[in-house]
Amino acid sequence: MTRPKPAATSQHPLELSTAQMRALVGQAMERITAHVTSLPDQPMHHTAGANKLVAGLEEPLPEKGVPFERLLKTLFGRVIPHSLNTASPGYLAYIPGGGLFHAAVADLIANATNRYVGVWLAGPGLVQLETNVIRWCCAMAGLPKDAGGVLTSGGSLANLTALTAARHARLPPRFQDGVLYVSDQVHHSVVKAARVVGILPDHVREIPTDAAFKMRVDLLRDAIAQDRGAGRLPFCVVGNGGTTNTGAVDDLPALGALCAREKLWFHVDAAYGGFFALTRRGKTALAGLEHADSITLDPHKGLFLPYGTGCLLVRDVAQLKAAHQVTAAYMPPSQQDAGHWDFADLSVELSRDWRGLRVWLPIKMHGAKVFRAALDEKLDLARELAQRLATLPDVEVVEPTLSLLAFRLVPPGLAAEDVDSLNRKLLGAINARQHVLLTGTVAQGKFWLRVCVLSFRTHEDRMDVLWDDLQHALKDVAL
C-alpha cells in the first residue's frame, strides 16, 4: 500500500505520531522510575483522608482534554500515593503481589500491537507463547502431557473456571444434588465460585481442620459417605496448596487418593503456594499436586507479576473445553488439533488481553533459575523469622510450610478475648511504624498476626526492620 503513514493531526487526534508516542512514554517513564526507586522509603499505608481524596477526584465526563503532564501529576502526586504500598519490600500483608517491571514492558508491547489471542487462528504465534507458559506450569506441577489450561485475571477466576469444569464433568445437567467439599480454611473465592456455578449453599461442606490447619481427611471421608447415603451427589474436593490464613498445605496425596477412589474431581487451590513447586523444598511440601484434576495458580503472587495474572491448569484440557465451548456462526472454525488451543473455548472470556506475554517475557529474559532462587530466598526469610519468634516468651507460632507464617502473643492468665485484643493492638503498633505492613486473621476462633513473604523486593534487611519494629511494638503493648 502506498498510503502515507497517518500522522497525528487535529483531524485524527487519536492517531499519535512517532514523536508523540515517544514523548508519552518518556514522560511516563520519568514518573515511573522516580516512583519505583523511592518505593522502599515510601510509607506502607497512606489512606487517611480517603473520603476527601475521592470527593476531589469525582467529576462528570470531561468534554475537553487535559495535558498529559498534568494528569501524570495527579496520578503520581495524589492518586497513587494514597494507598497501601503493595509494591514495597515491606509489604508482608495478605498475599503480596509483585509488579516486575518487565511485565509492564510486556503489557506495553501487547497493548500497542493489540493482537487477538482468543482464538488460535487469529494469532498462532502469540497463542503459542502463551501455551508455552501454561505448559511450563503443567510440567512444574507434574501434570501429564494432555494437561493444559488457561490464564485468567486471577485465582478467583481460576477457581470459578475449575468448578465449572468439575460440575460439567462429574454431575448431570440437573446438578442440584451436587455436593462440594472444602476445608474450613478455604479461600472465600471458592465459596463465591460455588455460588456462581449454582452449587446450593448448604451443599458446600466445610470440613474441619486439624491443629496444623489441614483438612481432616477422616472427617471428609465420613461426610462423603453420609451424603451418598442420603442420595446426594458428591462431585468435587478442593484441597489447599497453601492457605491464605496460615499457609497450611493439605495432605494432597491422601486427598488425591480419596478422590480417585470416590471418583470425585480433585481441585487444588495453590494460588498462593503453587509456584514454590519450582524449588526443591516447595516441591516436597506440595507433593501430591500431580494428582489434581485441576490446579489454581496465581502468577501475580508466586511469579511476582502485576495484579491481573492468574492461571488454571487442568489434567485433561478436553474437559475444560467440554465445559465451556459454544460455537457461533460468526466465529472462525475452532481447532481440531488437541495441541492448538482456542483460549475462548477454555473459559468464559472471548476477547481479552494477551496476558501470556507478561509471564513469558520475564521468564525468557532471566530463566527459571532466577525465579527459583528468589522463591528460595522467601522460604529462608520466613523460616528465619519463625525461628526468631520461637525464641520469644509467650509467643505461639504456626511454622511456615512455605513463606507464610502466623503468630500470636499468649501471655498466661488472660481471657481469650483479651488475648485477641492484645494481638490486634500488637498488629496496629507494628503497622503504625510504617516500615512493614502485616495483616491479621481469625483461624480456628483465634486472632493471629500473619507474615507472608512473597515480594521479589523483600530481603533480609527488611525482615530485620520487622524484627526491630516488633520489639518496639511489644513494649508499646506491654501489659
Ligand X SMILES: *Cc1c(COP(=O)(O)O)cnc(C)c1O
Contacts with ligand X by CB under 6 A lie at 95, 154-156, 187, 189, 244, 269, 271-272, 298, 310
**Residue 328 near residue 291, CB atoms below 8 Å:** no
**Residue 375 near residue 275, CB atoms below 8 Å:** yes
Q: Which is nearer to ligand X, 96 or 119 (CB)?
A: 96
- Phi, psi (rounded to 5 degrees) for 72: -60, -40
Q: For the CB of residue 376, give the shortest distance to ligand X in the complex, in Å.
A: 20
**Residue 355 near residue 151, CB atoms below 8 Å:** yes
Q: Which is nearer to ligand X, 178 or 310 (CB)?
A: 310
Q: For the CB of residue 353, give the shortest distance to ligand X in the complex, in Å.
A: 15
Sheet of 265-269, strands arranged across: 148-152, 310-314, 294-297, 265-269, 233-240, 178-183, 204-207
Q: Which is nearer to ligand X, 305 or 426 (CB)?
A: 305
Q: For the CB of residue 45, give the shortest distance to ligand X in the complex, in Å.
A: 19
Q: For the CB of residue 67, give the shortest distance to ligand X in the complex, in Å.
A: 36
Q: Which is nearer to ligand X, 119 or 305 (CB)?
A: 305
Q: For the CB of residue 293, give the shortest distance to ligand X in the complex, in Å.
A: 17
Q: Which is nearer to ligand X, 454 or 470 (CB)?
A: 454
Q: How many residues does the chain have?
A: 479
Q: Which is nearer to ligand X, 244 or 431 (CB)?
A: 244
Q: Which is nearer to ligand X, 126 or 406 (CB)?
A: 406
Q: For the CB of residue 268, give the shortest distance to ligand X in the complex, in Å.
A: 10
Q: Is 316 exposed, middle or buried (0-12, 13-18, 19+ CB in 10 A)?
A: middle
Q: For the CB of residue 158, give the shortest distance to ligand X in the complex, in Å.
A: 7
By beta-carbon distance, which residue lies closest to ligand X?
155
Q: For the CB of residue 244, give the shortest distance to ligand X in the complex, in Å.
A: 4
Q: Which is nearer to ligand X, 267 or 291 (CB)?
A: 267
Q: For the CB of residue 298, give the shortest distance to ligand X in the complex, in Å.
A: 5
Q: Which is nearer to ligand X, 227 or 298 (CB)?
A: 298
